[in-house]
Structures are given as structure tokens and as C-alpha cells.
Amino acid sequence: MEYTTEQIGKMGQQVVDLLTETLQREAETVGIQEVETQIREIVRQIGATALGQYLSAQSSEIEPRLPCACGGEMQYQRQREAQIISVFGPVKYQRSYYAGCSCGTGQAPLDQKLGLHPGSVSTGLAELLALGGIELAFEQGRRWLEKYLLFSVSANTVRRATEDRGARRAAQEAEWRKQSQTESWLQERQRQTGPVPQRLYGSIDAAKARIEPRCPEEKAQREETFRDLKVGCWYELEAVPPAQRSHRQREKYDREQQVFRAKNLRYYCDLEEAKQFGQLVWATGCRVLADFVPELIFVCDGAVWIWNLVKQYYPQAIQIVDWYHATTHLDKIAVMAFSDLAQRKDWLAKVKECLWQGQVQDVIQACQALVLHHPNVGSEIAYFINNETRMDYARFRAAGYAIGSGTIESACKQIVSQRLRMSGAQWTVDGAVYTAKARAAWLSGEWDLLPLAV
């Protein structure tokens, strides 16, 4: 919707006249910040008045009677006032109201037509509140929004708007799950497949969030629990041009001869057991055509539940254990076995070079040689035995594959650490899940694709 320069100019002059009159009446000398705030306040009040008048004007022609959903009939009562809270603050409007059916219900056709809920926030305001709620603690978001909107809402209103967006995402994902398990849908999808990326990455991990007591025993002890919020991400990678590399990336290129950055990221998450989460892994994968991609690569840590899901849903995928997780296990072994720092450093240099070259058997043998004198090392060796085929780093690098899972580490930080694990944060299950899902939708660039309110 566009307006002419002349129209905007006339309205702008009216605002200036009103502002000038106000300042002259109050005999105040103000700075530019106060002028900006005063203009915003004038525009806000004009917007609230205009929206109220617009809504009142939309009330349809009065009909003496209307059919009721129960099968009965309602009669016109009167023009009844209602109020919503919009991006301009509280807005009052008049609309036709019908009642008198034997079922006892009443109805305002305008509310149903425009999706208005008297006493609640408008859809436009709800979106702004949810954006504040996915970024900040609800009370902090409320305070920030008050400075932005020039009126106040409660922290609970921010929370409800945020969780509503998350519930929409959950409903959307439930539909994806249903589709991905329907043979007819899968067959139709196969016939209508569009462009497929040549190479696609997937990563899965989990991070802990503090959840309020959820069972009688926990409630009796008044103890919260920490539960794993599982997080997944689909993404593509592109090489970072030399001119755009940071100092750290230049050092990485000198060492590894490759520096990537992620693009087209799609995040998903849930607070559920691995078996149920696997359905979401498959459903979201169907959306990004993961099962059609010529080269599908999973880069994850060594958690058994993760690789079980990958093998179950994407057996054709190339499986890579994150290089940095693998070296962390070598660091642990070195600390167990060597108190002398020089010996520790020398041993680590040798085994890490073997690992870098994909010589996992040499790494295992080097670790096993320590077991006789350091039995506790044995618990770490299984990590390399179980993931040997996922540590062929020389071959992976030669093929141009990324061997680091920084993308999913970043996902866990952005979704869990930066929001769910804020200082003092404690969640109900639904609150944690819906807030995380809303944030994942925003980070994925899919905020505007969420379905209507559930």
C-alpha cells in the first residue's frame, strides 16, 4: 500500500502543527530526543483512533436475525463496544452484536470476520511481543517493548504471545510428521520434487534446560530437573572467500586448507525421547529433500542415540564424528596417563596427527598401550573403536567435507543457552518447548510461514 508525497506531506504538517501547539502551551524547550518521542506518541494516538474508527466502519449491514452454530437463531441486540490491544495501544470499536438463541451464546460477526478477540492483543501486536519473548526474558522483553511501543503490557502477555508462536510451530511440525509417514504423500512428493542440492549437511545434538518439577516425587522434594532439549539443523556450506576470512579463519585455512560457512539453515528442536525425536528428524528432512540429495553428510558428536537415528532414517548418509569432540577425548586420555606436561604434549601431537590422517587403528593402539599402567584410559578407547569408520578424516577432507560440527554447537547456544538458560530461568515443559520452537522458527527464516493460531 503506497501513499503519495502530497498525502504524506499533509498528514506530516498536521502532526507538526499539533506538536508545536503542545510545546508552546507547555512552554518547554526540548531536545531532539523529546521531539522524537512526542511525535511517536502523537502518531500512536492517531493510529489508535484511526484503527478504532476503521473497525467500527467495517461492521456489516445490520441483519435482524442470523443463524446460530447450534442450528437455532440469534436476533440483533445492539451496537456493542469492544476493546483490543493493538500496536497503537488500547483500541475501542463498535460492532453489531447478536444473541437470544436458546443455547445462550452471543456473536459479533465483525470479530469473526477479522479474527478479533476482545480483551486480547491484536495479531500485529502479538507478533512484536513474541519477537521480544524469543530474544529476552519475558520481564525484560516487557520493559524493552514498553520503550519501543510507548505503552505497557504484562510479562505474562509477552509469554503467552511467545508460546502461541511456538505452539503454531509444534502444530506445523505435527502435520509434517503426519505427512512424512503417509505413503501417498511420499509418493506424490517424489513425483513433484524440485531442485535438489548436490550436498546437504545434517547435525543433531542436545543441551540441558532447567524444568520445574513434573512428577509427584519431584514436587515433594521441591527440586527442579535438567532435561535434554534435542536440537537438529539442516544446512548447506559454502567456502569463505579469502578477503572475508577472519584472523581465526585464516589460521584454520593454513592448517586445514578449507574454511566453510553455513547457509540455508533450518533448525528444529523438541524435549522428547530419541525415538520420538527421530520422527521429527525424518519429517524435517523430507521438507529439505534430504533423502534425495546425492551427498548427505551428518557431522555430530559420538552420542550413540544420534548415530542410531541417522542409521535408521538415513542409512545412505556419510557419517562423520566431529573432529573437535574426537580430540577432546584424546586430551582426556593424555591427562589420565601423563602427569609430565612435556610427555603429555609430545604424545598428543603424535596421536592427533595420526587421527588427522585417518589412521584410527594407530590411535587405538597408542591408547591401548597406556592401559596397563593407567586402567582408567580403557573407558575412553571405546569411543574410537565404536566410531572408527566415522573418523576417516583424511578421506573426508580430500572429498571436501566439513569435519567440524560448529553449526549445531551454534544452534544449541542460540536456542538453548542464549534463551532457555538465561540466569534464573526455570521452565515448564510446554514453556520451554514452545519458546525454543518459536526461536528456531525465527532463526530458520520461517517466522512468516507459521500457520494461523491453534
pLDDT tens per residue across span 274-316: 999 999 999 999 999 999 999 999 999 989 999 999 999 999 9
Q: Is the pLDDT of residue 453 over 80?
A: no
> How far, in Å, are 246, 315, 339 from residue 319 at the CA level?
28, 9, 35
- For 356, the domain range is 325-395
382-389 — which CB contacts under 8 Å span 24+ positions?
Answer: 383/302, 383/326, 383/329, 384/326, 384/329, 384/360, 386/302, 386/304, 387/302, 387/321, 387/326, 388/360, 388/361, 388/364, 389/319
Q: Is the pLDDT of residue 418 over 70?
A: yes
- Is position 375 within any domain? yes
- Is position 382 within any domain? yes
What SS3 class is residue 369? Answer: helix
- Is position 412 within any domain? no
- Is position 387 within any domain? yes
The mean pLDDT value for 159-182 works out to 97
The mean pLDDT value for 176-193 works out to 91
Q: Is the pLDDT of residue 220 over 70?
A: no
CA-wise closest residue to 367 among 408, 318, 329: 329
pLDDT number for residue 425: 85
Q: How confident is the model at residue 265 (pLDDT cuts 50, 70, 90)?
A: very high
Q: Is the pLDDT of residue 361 over 90?
A: yes
- Is position 141 within any domain? no
Mean pLDDT value across the chain: 92
- DSSP for 418-447 reads IIITSTT--B-HHHHHHHHHHHHHHHTT-G
Q: How confident is the model at residue 222 (pLDDT cuts 50, 70, 90)?
A: low
Which range among 64-68, 213-217, 250-254 has the greatest average pLDDT? 64-68
- Is position 389 within any domain? yes
pTM, 2 dp: 0.90
Cell reading at 102? 436458546
- DSSP for 117-131 reads -TTSB-HHHHHHHHH
pLDDT number for residue 28: 65
- Is position 139 within any domain? no
Q: How confident is the model at residue 194 (pLDDT cuts 50, 70, 90)?
A: confident
Q: Is the pLDDT of residue 325 over 70?
A: yes
- Is position 164 within any domain? no
How many distinct structural domains can be found in the chain?
1
The residues, ordered by sequence, that sit 6+ positions from 268 with a Cβ below 8 Å of its Cβ are: 173, 231, 232, 233, 280, 281, 284, 440
Q: Is the pLDDT of residue 228 over 70?
A: yes
Q: Is the pLDDT of residue 217 over 70?
A: no
